[in-house]
Amino acid sequence: MARSGTNSADIKQKNMEAVKLMLYRQAPISRAEIAAQLGLTPATITNITGELINAGFIEEIESDAAASHGIGRKPVLIDIRRDCFTVLGLTLGRDSTRFAICDMRGNVLAQGTYEVMNDDYSVMLHQLQGILSLIEKEHGDLWKSLLGIGIAIPGVVNAHLGQLKNHGNERRSWCGQPIGEEISRFTGLPVRVENNVKARASAISVFWPNLLEGEQTYALCYVSFGIACPFVLGNLVFKGDEDAAGEIGKMILQADSQNDSSFAPAGSLEALSSVTSILNQCRERMNSGEQTILHELCPAAEDLSFTQVMEAQRQDDPMVCGIMDKAMFYVGVALSNIVSIINPHLILLSGAIFTNLHNAEVVQDTLMKHAFLADYTSLRVVPVDMGEYAGAIGAAACCIEKFFVRG
């Protein structure tokens, strides 16, 4: 928010943004509470909320609770109008392409899953345009009220330019291409492109702030085919000058490692602990003839899925449990380094691997053992199940942040 300055338009815009953010995180809330928390005058808040009501973006809600001391008028609260727009989010993942059309409060109105996008950019663009045309055809009423489109992609993303900057050894032809601009031209809608895990952090900030329990500085560690951990400092995702902050999967934990990896730097966290690494280790040991229940779940090692690995762990298969425990140990070590640097009070663990709470416990125990903690009790490590559409919902949240909150 801004209280003083020479550019009144900028001040008004920053105050408007602060009010919208507070509505997402605390509404329904009264005007008086907003003014008190933001340090703005009641008149300023009345003017801002009046403008938002006239535009149809927020609405007044009469509280069920009586005024203070049980007498007088019931307080009038305000909240975001969930039906003022719809928002489309897509995630172009390594295992699937998912979409979710949400209302302005993140409630999913329609969703679906499509094939993985092609590694060739021109083919991918054609695929994506076909998917968007199909979504418009099948959900025309929701499409008509779209605020915009959010697209979440693994890798380093320049959200300002709407471009993928780096995806390691994958999807190289996508890098530097104007994905956001081309999809905006195709649909006639504004488009926001963001890293898939940073998008999940946006979903938490905008749609699920209850997960934070009041914390404004936290880390979201997402373990899947890649590993990332964006840092949210004072409710803002820290990206760094090159948009690569939070890529802890590239952190080197075994500098003298001789293990060659085609998908991650040797000795890196992703080479040790990602879903790709775990699957590769399981397949190698299956092929070596080691006894494991995986032979019953999937006779052909090359067809092994991570769902089958998780099932074997649930059945206490010694080989799989050993691989998983070691992988989670290294995640805990990496996070202990993060804690020692940025000192968050909250770390959220996300990804299918944490649906088995034992894996989260191994991470937490390792982290607590190795991190430098000024106050042991101040750090909470919490596994969160955000669901398989979290990336798409996060993309929708990024769109709201860009085109509604800051728009």
Model confidence pLDDT, tens digit, residues 281-302? 999 999 999 999 999 999 999 9
Do 143 and 231 lie in a common domain? Answer: no
Nearest to 52 by CA among 73, 75, 67, 34: 34
Q: For the domain that residue 101 is a member of, what is the CATH number?
A: 3.30.420.40
Let me know if residue 137 belongs to a domain: yes
Looking at residue 377, its pLDDT comes to: 58
Looking at residue 62, its pLDDT comes to: 75
Let me know if residue 38 belongs to a domain: yes
Do 270 and 397 lie in a common domain? Answer: no
Let me know if residue 298 belongs to a domain: yes
Q: Which residue has the higher pLDDT, 216 or 138?
A: 138
Distance, CA of 190 to CA of 181 (rounded, Å): 9
Let me know if residue 3 belongs to a domain: no
Do 67 and 154 lie in a common domain? Answer: no
Do 374 and 396 lie in a common domain? Answer: no
H helical segments located in 241-317: 269-273, 275-287, 294-297, 306-314
Instruction: Answer yes or no: is pLDDT of 68 > 70.
Output: no
Instruction: Answer yes or no: is pLDDT of 71 > 60.
Output: no
Do 108 and 36 lie in a common domain? Answer: no
Do 223 and 370 lie in a common domain? Answer: yes
Q: Which residue has the higher pLDDT, 263 or 89?
A: 89
Task: Pick the last residue of a domain from 80, 99, 124.
Answer: 80
> Binning pLDDT at 50, 70 and 90, where does residue 1 land?
low
Task: Pick the last residue of a domain from 80, 106, 139.
Answer: 80
203-208-211-216 Cα dihedral, nearest 10 degrees: 70
Do 319 and 373 lie in a common domain? Answer: yes
Instruction: Answer yes or no: is pLDDT of 70 > 70.
Output: no
The overall average pLDDT reported for the chain is 92
Do 227 and 181 lie in a common domain? Answer: no
Check if the beta carbon of residue 128 is closer than 8 Å to that of residue 153.
Answer: no
Do 235 and 374 lie in a common domain? Answer: yes
Let me know if residue 2 belongs to a domain: no
Task: Pick the last residue of a domain from 49, 80, 111.
Answer: 80
Q: How many structural domains compose the chain?
A: 3
Residue-wise pLDDT for 354-388, tens only, equals 999 999 999 999 999 999 887 655 889 999 999 99
Q: Phi and psi of 227, rounded to 5°?
A: -135, 130
Do 270 and 316 lie in a common domain? Answer: yes
Let me know if residue 1 belongs to a domain: no
Q: Which residue has the higher pLDDT, 3 or 357?
A: 357
Do 243 and 312 lie in a common domain? Answer: yes
Domain enclosing residue 27, as ranges? 8-80
Share of the chain above pLDDT 70, in %: 95
Looking at residue 30, its pLDDT comes to: 95
Instruction: Answer yes or no: is pLDDT of 133 > 80.
Output: yes
Looking at residue 69, its pLDDT comes to: 46
Do 218 and 318 lie in a common domain? Answer: yes
Let me know if residue 312 belongs to a domain: yes
Let me know if residue 107 belongs to a domain: yes
Q: For the domain that residue 51 is a member of, what is the CATH number?
A: 1.10.10.10
